[in-house]
Chain A
Amino acid sequence: SQTIHQWPATLVQPVGSPLSLECTVEGTSNPNLYWYRQAAGRGLQLLFYSVGIGQISSEVPQNLSASRPQDRQFILSSKKLLLSDSGFYLCAWNEGEEYGYTFGSGTRLTVV
């Protein structure tokens, strides 16, 4: 069966520090991968998605970037965090949008 792993679960980082969140999927090949952010108001915002290795699409211009160095690995990064980057980050995968998403357990990021 397929599983998705996301870490760390919580992170407190100072403003201006770098960020690296990692997500891996097991049990499937060539999944679509996604990074979502959920700010305090509960809404879900799509940040990045990838349909293959090295293919990244950005939905919202911001202080973040994403990379997909391996088929089942998706990384969210920032060179310098801003206070506004605080939030709950969720990785997700699917085999097509019509199937919905399977989400990871999320990373709660607090920038101080």
Chain B
Amino acid sequence: AQRVTQAQTEISVVEKEDVTLDCVYETRDTTYYLFWYKQPPSGELVFLIRRNSFDEQNEISGRYSWNFQKSTSSFNFTITASQVVDSAVYFCALYAGGYQKVTFGTGTKLQVIP
């Protein structure tokens, strides 16, 4: 079985603050893929990043960065210098192969206050 836990239900930060969204996953498979999606108020889910289990390098894309740590089964997402446009629900997801489907976390609602 696979599971994704996003313990933070809602986070509020003031604009320009840094914020980290936590994601903890569970799987018995050694090959798996992790994803982050952003859902702005308009509703459409936007793909942000994909990471496979053999690549533990952290990734940075502009103000976004991702910290993948297999030792703690975490794939955390940090937004640096947050902006109001970052306000959205963010989903972490896991795919561990075989006949399983992608498992989504319950999402973290981020509100960036101007």
Which residues of A are in contact with B by a Cβ distance under 8 Å?
A: 42-44, 46, 49, 59, 88, 90, 92, 97-106, 108
Contacts and interface: CB of A to CB of B under 8 A. Distances in A.
Interface of B: 33, 35, 37, 42-47, 50, 52, 89, 91, 93, 95, 97, 100-102, 104, 106-107, 109
Contacts, number: 54
Nearest to A41: B106
B43 A100 contact: no
Q: Chain A binding site: helix, strand, loop or mixed by DSSP?
A: mixed
A106 B43 contact: yes
A20 to B, nearest CB: 20
Contacts of A108: 43
Given A49-B101, A97-B102, A98-B97, A106 B89 contact: no
A44 B91 contact: yes
A36 to B, nearest CB: 9
B47 A101 contact: yes
A101 B48 CA distance: 10
Nearest to A106: B43
Nearest to A88: B43
Nearest to B45: A103
B44 A97 contact: no
Nearest to A108: B43
A97 B68 CA distance: 20
Contacts of B33: 97-98, 100
A42 B101 contact: no
A42 B47 contact: no
A49 B93 CA distance: 17
Given A105-B44, A106-B44, A108-B43, A42 B95 contact: no
Residue among A43, A100, A103 facing the most chain B CB atoms (10 A cut-off):
A100
Contact of A59 (B50, B89, B93, B101): B101
Contacts of B100: 97
